Amino acid sequence: MKPKRAPAPPVKWSKTAKRFWLDVHKQFVLEEPQHVELLRAACQQLDRADAARAVVDKGGVVLLDRFKQVKPNPAVDMERQAHLAFLRLARELGLDVELPGETRGHRRAGTGG
């Protein structure tokens, strides 16, 4: 049986999210509609994390409030939450996720890895 062609990702998604969408469709057969929806949600979280990262890159990890006091940039937490949501959705799909350009550091002995 000939594999189905991957549905095109939404135009408004980032290159990273589009590439992830197409790669998953290329490597796996998503037979159930809920799997496609999980993948769609994962890609949206990738975009949200990228958008938050752009805000952090522009404004820094800390900001000054109206009293000139240093405060954490809320976009840092937004990026973290979106990335965690992406990883959870990918795990729910049963994917071993490695994002483009992502590398893991070495683990220390005795830390379980």
Domain count, the chain: 1
83 domain-assigned: yes
Q: What is the pLDDT of residue 28?
A: 87
Reading the block at residue 89, the tokens are 């959705």
Report the pLDDT value the prediction gives residue 2, as an integer from 0 to 100.
52
Q: Is residue 111 part of a domain?
A: no
φ/ψ (deg, to 5) at 63: -130, 160
Please report whether residue 3 resides in a domain.
no
Confidence class for position 1, pLDDT limits 50, 70, 90: very low
Show the domain range for 80: 15-92
Residue 65 domain flag: yes
Within-domain flag for 1: no
Q: What is the pTM of this model?
A: 0.77
User: pLDDT (tens digit, 9 = 90+) per residue, 18-53?
Assistant: 999 999 999 888 889 999 999 999 999 999 999 999
pLDDT tens profile 66-100: 999 999 999 999 999 999 999 999 999 988 766 55
Q: Does residue 110 lie within any of the structural domains? A: no
48 found inside a domain: yes
Residue 58 maps to a domain? yes
